[in-house]
Structure 1
Amino acid sequence: MKISCLTAQDPAVHTMFRPFALKMEERRIPSIVINVFKCYYTQIMQGAQGKTSDADISPLLEGEVPAYADLEAYSDAGREALSHTIVIKLNGGLGTSMGLERAKSLIPVKDGHTFLDIIVRQAKVLRKKYKSPLPLTFMNSFKTHRDTMLKVEGLDNGDTGIPLAFVQHMYPKIMEADLSPADWPANPELEWNPPGHGDVYTALVTSGLLAKLLKRGYRYAFISNSDNLGAVMDSRLLGYIAQERLPFLMEVARRTHLDRKGGHLAKLNDSNRLMLREQAQCPESELESFADIEKYRYFNTNSLWVDLEVLEQVFVENLMMPLDLILNPKTLDPRDPDSPPVLQVETAMGSAISAFENARAVLVPRTRFAPVKTTQDLLLVMSDCYLRTKLETIEQNPARTTPMPAIALDQKFYKKIDMFQERFPKGAPSLINCERLEVHGDVRFGKNVRINGVTRVINRSRKQVRVPDGAALEGEVLYA
């Protein structure tokens, strides 16, 4: 349930929250952010778990979401709106799932180029193509800002006056035992967590960027993840939101078996507005229903288009962007399972869809969705199953006419990025003719290796084995 800051007035909550407020004030966190966090803390004190039941929502039916292919007529309107549009890349993520402690966008992903390299190239190509300044700005986290800004040195937004970056906020972790602020003197930075990409709206306000954009005539923002290189400015989608005067547009894709855990789109029964439900918001007893890709057909690609004027109105009316609470149970030190249990307050950017009257979704092709969350995703995008286009997007290779291959790498040897890179030193093998690749044990791949059909590479020895340059593998390949 979304609430306004005005509801968080309970005296007991005020007493319990006071240490959090002081802790955040010491870090000079803006009062708006403190009040937003207090709203979510109030919900937790009242027993909220941030869950949305099947009983509260209805699935979207086939045909209720317009298809990208049917929006070509909006392209001219989009080109006209380009001079009033900004691109925002969410760049707060660390590659923790791949063993990194720095910005994931610094990982080499295609032809030796990092995510950031390709994003910067995209910006330059699109500015030239559309003859528009098209400002680009990154929302960094407190852990990714420095590395990112050093990497993009040399890029600027010309005479637009729009900064290259703004920084998302921090929330204190909450001790699960007594709902007090987390305390970890050995490493005080672990007492804080990023608040999720839903913080983009608050950070736009507190950084002054939203006010600056509106003052300079910017009306629309295209917001997407830095690890999704298929998400690029598109004139027909921009034209659709501009010509139809939509306040909010979410790009969705048809769910497949691989997407069953991703946040899905539905309708709220009480208001008939669109809503986004993440897996963490689903009651455990309904996880099977959540994963039903025929029932809930559409998942959020986390690429959004927003009318900035309406965004400001919604924020002012609610004293915040009303987003669903996501309560994420963790250990205080994520690398130490024996450290105390904590709760992390997070929000998802896409849940804002239910805060806007007449918000829409659009069904986009998979070419606009090429995310990298694990080293298995990385291997696929590095391979010839994906190509770099002239617009510097990463798109599925048209020569691949069947679903993308399933990849299962031995997590003992490939989960972390340094281990992965050591075992693919010459780049990814060819996967264009592969249906499934499994790698069991410690295997190092040579140059120009080709994987065909269903292939299982198994090393049963304790020593690393090497697949020779130019090898073609298919079926079961056993190293004893």
Structure 2
Amino acid sequence: MLTVDDKKARGHQRSPSDTQAFKERTKRDALIELENELSNIASTAPQIERESIKLQNEGFKRLFERFLEVGGAPLNWDQIQKLPEGAIKDYDSLKDPGTEEIKELLSKLVVIKLNGGLGTSMGCHGPKSVITVRNGLTFLDLTVQQIENLNKTFGSNVPLVLMNSFNTDDDTQKIIRKYKGIDIEIHTFNQSCYPRINKESLLPLAKHSRISEDIEAWYPPGHGDFYESFRNSGLLKLLISQGRQYCFISNIDNLGATVDLRILRLLIGPEKAGEIEFLMEVTDKTRADVKGGTLIQYENKLRLLEMAQVPKEHVEDFKSVKTFKYFNTNNLWIKLQAIDRVVSDGNMDLEIIVNPKTFENGLNVIQLETAVGAAMKCFNGSCGIHVPRSRFLPVKKTSDLMLVMSNLYTLRNGSLAMSPQRMFPTTPLVKLGDNHFSKVKEFLERFPTIPDILELDHLTVSGDVTFGSKVTLKGTVIIIANQGERIDLPSGTILENKIVSGNLRILSH
């Protein structure tokens, strides 16, 4: 039999509405605490920096508030709709502009490269854009060469804009001084610098605004930050005042992302294609791209779906080449006045990517990030365009570096083109073992010269393997040195559809 006290105790058990109220109160408290901490951090900055820090803090607060509301919640898989007719345009149907038309088109364009990343994943210090790619030239050199050639050829003045991060800005500023003698206008601006958050307390790790003294406490919040940072920098307004209409944005490590005159004509030529404000280049998905974002129709809008937004039980569906044929190259064409409007109206509600990190001391932190392509749902007339695979040539690993350094490609005026001697247009699938090849320095020691791979389909290399000079690889080649074994391929070796394993050393005498 229940006593009066028992009944009272039972009456104090939380009902669902109590739980909701508790969560709301916790969120409110977390936001108030965060605002206090951000205010304290800002107060440690010199007076001259406080206005820009205030702008960044407001941006971070909005991001944090949305994170508290929705977290990194996956979307409802069952609500994904079929892509509507015309959502993805056909590149092959586009016309080349006439010579007299090109200069006019280029006068309305600005090229923007996302240059916030470091080369640490490939064992390099400083910005990734200064890794030597080919003929002693870096990603940045090749980009400058491409635009210089475009301007010279057509008598145009296309400017180059680099979005740096606090990690890459100092080094980039020193490097771009060497382009002073080159006839190209280069602008830079920095993306935001946000505080990493302690996963448990939801409070910033940073205690002051002196970033260089506590660099681990800060992070650049992904390239989705481009829109607000670009506008805040004043560059957006300047470029619009110069008559520029569209920007072409791409990752600096994508060597296939060159200015495409056909696409530019589609946007601002005589057809104007129904006033497209946002155009995303997509290309065919292969086994190497299964984690890349894809285009979907969701809530009657065209959207970018990233791996981080996929419910766990549907990850394999997302990776399926049959279900999602295309993936996002991160080559984007966006109307400048539309960026100004969307940011001014406060309509830039990009999906939040929660990126967890664990420090060496065991501390768990989170970074709140967004993707530049996710903004397509915020613009009018957004669509995709199905481009050739050659427009996606990123260098994320040393296996990619091997491809772009090889005879598979020819280099002309900063642009890479597949060799006409290659019998088929697909690139070989190359897998190099992490333990011996992941760092650029190790990779170059093991490949004193890059093999002839014109007829290669697939290469897997694992273990302590070193290549001599003038090696030729054809078909499918697998070379595996097990633990404690070493394989030295002698100069002049030709391997076609071969598996090599065990010990192999040819000593000179």
What are the within-5 Å matches in structure 2 for residues 46-65 of structure 1? 46-60=69-83, 64-65=87-88
Query: Which residue matches 2:29?
Result: 12
For the 8 Å contact 1:251–1:361, the answer to whether it is kept is yes
How far, CA to CA, are the matches of 1:356 and 1:90 in structure 2?
20
For the 8 Å contact 2:67–2:352, the answer to whether it is kept is no
Amino acid at match of 1:221: C
- The structure whose Rg is larger is 2
Matched, 1:445 2:467: yes
Deviation at 1:125, TM superposition (A): 0.7
Matched, 1:83 2:107: yes
Matched, 1:171 2:194: yes
How far, CA to CA, are the matches of 2:103 and 2:76 in structure 1?
41
Deviation at 1:349, TM superposition (A): 0.5
Unaligned runs of 5+ in 1: 1-9
Q: How many residues align?
A: 461
For the 8 Å contact 1:321–1:352, the answer to whether it is kept is yes
Amino acid at match of 1:227: D
- Mean Cα displacement is larger for which, 57-66 or 162-171? 57-66
For the 8 Å contact 1:59–1:295, the answer to whether it is kept is no
Task: Indicate the SS of the match to 2:267.
Answer: helix
For the 8 Å contact 2:303–2:374, the answer to whether it is kept is yes
Deviation at 1:142, TM superposition (A): 1.1
What are the within-5 Å matches in structure 2 for residues 164-313 of structure 1? 164-182=187-205, 188-242=214-268, 243-244=272-273, 245-268=275-298, 270=299, 272-313=300-341
How far, CA to CA, are the matches of 1:159 and 1:457 in structure 2?
47
What are the within-5 Å matches in structure 2 for residues 308-319 of structure 1? 308-318=336-346
Percent of aligned pairs with the same amino acid:
36
How far, CA to CA, are the matches of 1:304 and 1:402 in structure 2?
23
Query: What does the per-residue CA deviation read over 1:320-349, in whole Å, with 9 as the maximum and x for residues that have no partner?
Result: 633221111112x3xx3x531111111100
- Are the structure 2 counterparts of residues 25 and 172 from structure 1 closer, same or farther at C-alpha, using a change threshold of 3 Å? farther
- Are the structure 2 counterparts of residues 478 and 295 from structure 1 closer, same or farther at C-alpha, using a change threshold of 3 Å? closer
Task: Indicate the SS of the match to 1:72.
Answer: coil
Deviation at 1:156, TM superposition (A): 5.0
Amino acid at match of 1:216: Q
- Are the structure 2 counterparts of residues 321 and 155 from structure 1 closer, same or farther at C-alpha, using a change threshold of 3 Å? farther
For the 8 Å contact 1:94–1:102, the answer to whether it is kept is yes
Amino acid at match of 2:145: R
For the 8 Å contact 2:96–2:261, the answer to whether it is kept is no
Query: Which residue matches 2:382?
Result: 359
How far, CA to CA, are the matches of 2:474 and 2:84 in structure 1?
38
What is the aligned counterpart of 1:346 among 361, 369, 375? 369
Deviation at 1:47, TM superposition (A): 4.9
Query: Which residue matches 1:3?
Result: none
Task: Indicate the SS of the match to 2:426.
Answer: coil
Query: Which residue matches 1:381?
Result: 404
How far, CA to CA, are the matches of 1:411 and 1:349 in structure 2?
29
Matched, 1:470 2:492: yes
Query: Which residue matches 2:350?
Result: 323
Task: Indicate the SS of the match to 1:436.
Answer: strand
Which structure has the higher relative contact order (CA within 8 Å, separation 6+)? Answer: 1
Task: Indicate the SS of the match to 1:118.
Answer: helix
Task: Indicate the SS of the match to 1:228.
Answer: coil
- Are the structure 2 counterparts of residues 361 and 223 from structure 1 closer, same or farther at C-alpha, using a change threshold of 3 Å? same
Task: Indicate the SS of the match to 1:66.
Answer: strand
Q: TM-score, normalised by structure 1?
A: 0.89
For the 8 Å contact 1:74–1:235, the answer to whether it is kept is yes
Deviation at 1:444, TM superposition (A): 1.8
Deviation at 1:212, TM superposition (A): 1.1
Task: Indicate the SS of the match to 2:338.
Answer: helix
Deviation at 1:55, TM superposition (A): 2.5
Query: Which residue matches 2:417?
Result: 395
How far, CA to CA, are the matches of 1:290 and 1:113 in structure 2?
37
For the 8 Å contact 2:148–2:183, the answer to whether it is kept is no
How far, CA to CA, are the matches of 2:376 and 2:152 in structure 1?
32
Matched, 1:116 2:144: no
Matched, 1:128 2:128: no
How far, CA to CA, are the matches of 1:119 and 1:158 in structure 2?
12
Task: Indicate the SS of the match to 1:154.
Answer: helix
How far, CA to CA, are the matches of 2:453 and 2:83 in structure 1?
35
How far, CA to CA, are the matches of 1:400 and 1:371 in structure 2?
22
Amino acid at match of 1:195: P
- Mean Cα displacement is larger for which, 377-386 or 256-265? 377-386
Amino acid at match of 1:197: H
- Are the structure 2 counterparts of residues 458 and 178 from structure 1 closer, same or farther at C-alpha, using a change threshold of 3 Å? same
Query: What does the per-residue CA deviation read over 1:347-394, in whole Å, with 9 as the maximum and x for residues that have no partner?
Result: 100011000021111111011110011111111222222222x34222
Query: What does the per-residue CA deviation read over 1:156-212, in whole Å, with 9 as the maximum and x for residues that have no partner?
Result: 59899x652111111111111121112599971011111111111111111111111
RMSD over aligned CA atoms reads 2.5
- Are the structure 2 counterparts of residues 215 and 47 from structure 1 closer, same or farther at C-alpha, using a change threshold of 3 Å? closer
Amino acid at match of 2:475: G
Task: Indicate the SS of the match to 2:179.
Answer: coil
How far, CA to CA, are the matches of 2:73 and 2:362 in structure 1?
24
How far, CA to CA, are the matches of 1:339 and 1:201 in structure 2?
34
Task: Indicate the SS of the match to 2:373.
Answer: helix
Matched, 1:152 2:176: yes
Deviation at 1:82, TM superposition (A): 1.1
